[in-house]
Amino acid sequence: MSDIKAPTRIWIVEDHPHFAKQIARLITGEEDMLCEKVFSHPDELISELGYCAAPPDLLLLDVGLPGRDGLAVLREVKTKTPELKVVILTSFDDRERVYRAICNGASGYLLKTADPEEILTGIRDVVSGSAALTGTIASMILEGFSKHGPVEETEPLTAREEEVLRLLVKGFIKKEIGDQLDISQHTVDMHLRSVYRKLHVRTQTEAVSKALRKGLV
């Protein structure tokens, strides 16, 4: 019996044809990887996931996509196929997107500017069960969790504030939080202001970071 392992089946969602071709060619050149499909629009991916009998082993997903927020697409993909490993491959390196991607279930966050070998290594790391982070992204996350030093005591959150914070950590935007809890966006804003005050933070990213560090959700 052969002990040759089947190659990792990879799908790509990338709307820039030149870069999509580069990444597909990079993957195709590896014996342990197979680029099965490339989608230029997220709706094509969602449709394919709805009908295919065998989802891929790994999905490379851009954030800046036509007509859809890539992070919303990530959340939808993880809802449909929770076991599918998703690696964000994008040019966006701002903290909010990084945190939202990780909170929404991304197994890795790589930048398009990364060395090709770093991208391939990241894919293999995720397949083997590890996380994949471009060096600058890893540093950003560590800084985000540690730069404030020891955390101070915080005033307890109400049950509703905890619900709002939990959805915020999951990557939901204000309108989506309101829809989930059946409250107005104005009420969401009111709860968020209270959460920010109690956690001694000023931004959504800081609130998510502190909530995770303190185990509030």
Task: Return the CATH number of the domain spanning residue range 8-145.
Answer: 3.40.50.2300
Scanning the chain, the segments in alpha helix (DSSP H) are 17-28, 42-51, 70-80, 95-103, 116-127, 135-146, 159-169, 174-181, 185-199, 204-214
Q: What is the DSSP string of 68-93?
A: EEHHHHHHHHHHH-TT-EEEEEES--
Of 163, 144, 152, 142, nearest to 216 by C-alpha is 163
pLDDT of residue 151: 43
Where do the domains of the chain lie?
A: 8-145, 159-214
DSSP annotation of 65: E
For the chain, give the number of residues.
217
The pTM of the full predicted model, rounded to 2 decimals, is 0.65
Whole-angstrom Cα distance, residue 77 to residue 156?
34
- Residue 60's DSSP bridge partners are 12, 87
pLDDT of residue 152: 53
pLDDT of residue 140: 67
Whole-angstrom Cα distance, residue 18 to residue 101?
24
pLDDT of residue 158: 92
Question: Are the CB atoms for 178 and 188 separated by under 8 Å?
Answer: yes
pLDDT of residue 141: 65
Phi-psi label, residue 16: left if phi above 0, alpha if psi -120 to 50, beta otherwise: beta
Q: Provide the residue-wise pLDDT of the chain in tens; the chain has 217 residues.
A: 455 688 999 999 999 999 999 999 999 999 999 999 999 999 999 999 988 888 999 999 999 888 888 889 999 999 889 999 999 999 887 777 888 888 888 888 999 998 899 999 999 989 988 877 776 676 666 566 555 444 455 678 999 999 999 898 888 888 999 999 999 989 999 999 999 888 888 887 778 877 877 777 6
Domain covering 159-214: architecture:
Orthogonal Bundle (1.10)
